[in-house]
């Protein structure tokens, strides 16, 4: 007499014995109490790019960015201005999109002395995040589907949230940014190895 387990049972049993059943457990998420303000902008109707420029202009100490695509000249100009006035600006960018982007502003930022690192670990480093003054009470984080591009501003349906006044939330984004930064390689090194 033979006994056959149904396929799902075989998979579950194998994973349980292997100890890999935990792969199906969802990681704990961070529940952070809602505080502060939320600014919302949708393209093409609103002006998310202008909202980001105002946020960059408000920076007193630091700006950290994670960008999938970065072709927006106005945003690049705002970052260069912030860098010129002494704000510490640091950029993480998707390696593949930066390498193939004809209009990428990443080389311009790097040539101006802004530390730029590219993320090479992931199929797509798809974050779109801007963290401003994480060390200060007025800290803010901007996130959403909005890429830092002309198309996101003028052609696409995108969303942007700017969250202010929640230092724990900003700290969570900063911790994630730093984790990605540790895995990234300097832009100059990535360019030389192409």
Distance CA 165, CA 55 (A): 13
- Host H or E run for residue 172: helix 167-183
Among residues 118, 69, 55, 54, which one has the least CA distance to residue 90? Answer: 118
Secondary structure (DSSP) of 67-96: ES-B--HHHHHHHHHHHHTT-EEEEEEEHH
Structure tokens at 88: 């510490």
Q: Which of 47, 60, 81, 126 is catalytic?
A: 126
Q: Which of 83, 94, 117, 128 is catalytic?
A: 128
Residue 133 among the catalytic residues: yes
Residue 194 among the catalytic residues: no
Q: Which of 94, 117, 133, 180 is catalytic?
A: 133
Residue 117 among the catalytic residues: no
Active site (catalytic) residues: 126, 128, 133
């Amino acid at each position: 007499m033979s006994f056959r387990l149904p396929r799902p049972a075989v998979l579950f049993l194998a994973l349980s014995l292997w100890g890999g059943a935990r792969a199906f457990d969802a990681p704990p998420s961070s529940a952070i109490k809602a505080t502060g303000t939320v600014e919302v902008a949708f393209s093409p109707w609103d002006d998310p790019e202008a909202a980001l420029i105002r946020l960059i202009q408000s920076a007193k100490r630091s700006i950290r960015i994670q960008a999938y695509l970065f072709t927006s000249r106005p945003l690049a100009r705002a970052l260069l201005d912030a860098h010129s006035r002494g704000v510490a600006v640091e950029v993480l960018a998707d390696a593949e999109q930066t390498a193939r982007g004809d209009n990428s502003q990443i080389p311009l930022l790097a040539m101006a002395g802004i530390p730029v690192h590219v993320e090479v670990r992931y199929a797509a480093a798809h974050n779109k995040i801007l963290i401003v003054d994480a060390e200060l009470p007025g800290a803010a984080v901007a996130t959403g589907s909005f890429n830092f591009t002309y198309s996101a501003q003028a052609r696409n349906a995108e969303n942007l949230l700017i969250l202010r006044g929640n230092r724990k939330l900003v700290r969570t984004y900063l911790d994630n940014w730093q984790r990605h930064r540790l895995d990234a390689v300097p832009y100059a090194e990535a360019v030389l190895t192409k």
